[in-house]
Amino acid sequence: MKQLQLNQVFRVNGEVNIPGSKSISNRALLLAALAKGTTTLTNLLDSDDISHMLNALSQLGISYQRNIEARSCTVVGNAGPFSSQQALTLFLGNAGTAMRPLCAALTLGTGEFELTGEPRMEERPIKDLVDAIAQIGAKVEYLKNDGFPPVKVIGSGLNGGTVKISGALSSQFLTALLMVAPLAKDDVAIEVVGELVSKPYIDITLALMEKFGVTVTNHQYQRFSVKGQQQYIAPGDLLVEGDASSASYFLAAGAIAGGEVKVTGVGKQSIQGDVKFADALAAMGADIEWGDDYIIARGSKLHGIDMDMNHIPDAAMTIATAALFAEGDTQLTNIYNWRIKETDRLAAMATELRKVGATVEEGEDFIRITPPSKIKHAAIDTYNDHRMAMCFSLAAFSEAGVTINDPDCTSKTFPDYFAQFQLLASR
Ligand SMILES: O=C(O)C1=C[C@@H](OP(=O)(O)O)[C@@H](O)[C@H](O)C1
Ligand SMILES: C=C(OP(=O)(O)O)C(=O)O
């Protein structure tokens, strides 16, 4: 196994241009592929999750021209649903933003599609989505375990009507349903059953659909009305914002050990809920400055917080490791769905924080962290979870430094994260 040793970093200063948002990249690619016309995406993320979406689209007959150097990609839209004469198997790695939306999108056309993924993907639920789209005529079968990928989608179009969907585990199911609803044969009325988690991701979905010419009526995240028989229209050019979750590591670095860290490509104009990470950092005492297209974090004395993190589940992990450098306890609540992401993140976070000396209480849906008086050196296991690797890079701001096991798992969303981190740390 590869290991990366990070020695103590005393101070950080500088600017990081954040790579494109995973959530926006994969939504924009799918909508561009379904749309009428050609879309040129700029600042498209280059990472595993995006490669899985692009490979799938390519197998579905979508043509695109990608310039990795220029971070651009021009997609020729299909002007409607995908269809295939021969059965296809699409491998989607561990990309939730590919698996869930494609599962829904492939029900729109005709053909048989098997959607498979990495072993962890087979443990990540998809039942709430399958149960929802079945109400308007989707045919999806489970190939191994009920409720989980791999699945077989038998495309035959979607009817309109009323659909009840659970929002309790993941917002990605509702995102998938929303994105296909305009291409149904009739209007779709969506009713969310129970509380919807990770709400701000729905705003990203609606904002992207709007850019492709489709407006959804949102009744307070409880009901959504979507007109059927529509077509997505390519917007021509679309700039992908920098990834707000990826920005969190650098902002936390600035707050812990700045100097001053400026992240660019994401700011107060962002459509990503994870920019609210900067507010959480400010609540810990960090000095934050907002621009339209940038955020700056300056070093300051941090204190623990007690905060509901349901709205920013990904960036909240960064608060958990920043808590090592705060005075007093930090409690992050309402984060049950950490358990069903790349790994069981509540268990993984608790285990690894304890290794560096923290006292941790792991609840069913919360974590409470008491920082150690002195952070200990540890080799951090990353559980094939990019965010575990990236969050724990912050432990390098302690005298002990830190070792990251399998650092290359950041390739899911940020392949050169550690190169960027070390560049910043050397300034
Ligand atoms: O829609 C999206 O782009 C995402 C939604 C969130 O998932 P949940 O809705 O499952 O919390 C988030 O954790 C994931 O990284 C990306
Ligand atoms: C939960 C995540 O990924 P996914 O899009 O696969 O759900 C994540 O990136 O933290």
Measured CA distances, 173 to 116, 196, 361, 374 (Å): 17, 10, 30, 42
Q: What is the DSSP string of 363-417?
A: -SS-EEEE--SSPPP-EE--TT-HHHHHHHGGGGGSTT-EEEESGGGGGGT-TTH
Residue 427 has pLDDT above 80, yes or no: no
Residue type, 231: Q
Q: Is 55 among the annotated ligand-binding positions?
A: no
User: What is the per-residue pLDDT for 383?
Assistant: 98
Which residue has 């590869």 as its token pair? 2
Instruction: Tell me how crowded residue 75 is: count the other CB atoms within 10 A of its CB.
Output: 28
Q: Percentage of residues in the chain with pLDDT exceeding 90?
A: 99
Predicted local distance difference test score (pLDDT) of residue 258: 85
Rounded to two decimals, the ipTM of the complex is 0.99
Ligand 1 within 6 A of 166 CB?
no
- For residue 217, pLDDT beyond 90: yes
Query: In which region does residue 328 sit, left (phi positive, over 0), alpha (psi from -120 to 50) or beta (all else)?
Result: left
CB atoms within 10 A of CB 361: 12
Q: What letters, b where the CB count within 10 A reaches 16 and e where it falls short, cover 179-209?
A: bbbbbbeebbbbebeeebbbebbbebbbebb
In short, whether 171's Cβ falls inside 6 Å of ligand 1 is yes
Q: Which helix (H) or strand (E) holds 319?
A: helix 313-322
Q: Rounded to whole angstroms, how far apart are CA atoms 92 and 2?
A: 24
Place of tokens 């609210």: 276
- Which of the listed residues 412, 414, 417 should we mutate to test ligand 2's pocket, taking the one with most ligand atoms within 8 A of CB? 412
CA distances in angstroms from 252 to 3, 15, 219, 245, 424, listed in the order given:
23, 13, 35, 11, 12
User: Mean pLDDT across the stretch 191-213?
Assistant: 97
314 noted as active-site residue? yes
Query: For ligand 2, is residue 96 a contact (CB within 6 Å)?
Result: yes
Pair 97, 53: CB distance under 8 Å: yes
d(CA 84, CA 369): 51
Residue 118 in contact with ligand 2 by CB distance below 6 A: no
Ligand closest in space to the Cα of 391: 2
| Average pLDDT of the chain to the nearest whole number | 97
User: What number is the average pLDDT over the span 324-338?
Assistant: 98
**Given the residues 48, 274, 314, 381, the one annotated as active site:** 314
Domains and CATH numbers, the chain: 3-19+243-425 (3.65.10.10), 22-208 (3.65.10.10)
Q: Which amino acid is at 295?
A: I
Give the whole-angstrom CA distance, residue 289 versus residue 49.
31
Condensed to tens digits (0 to 9), the pLDDT of residues 164-187 reads 999 999 999 999 999 999 999 999
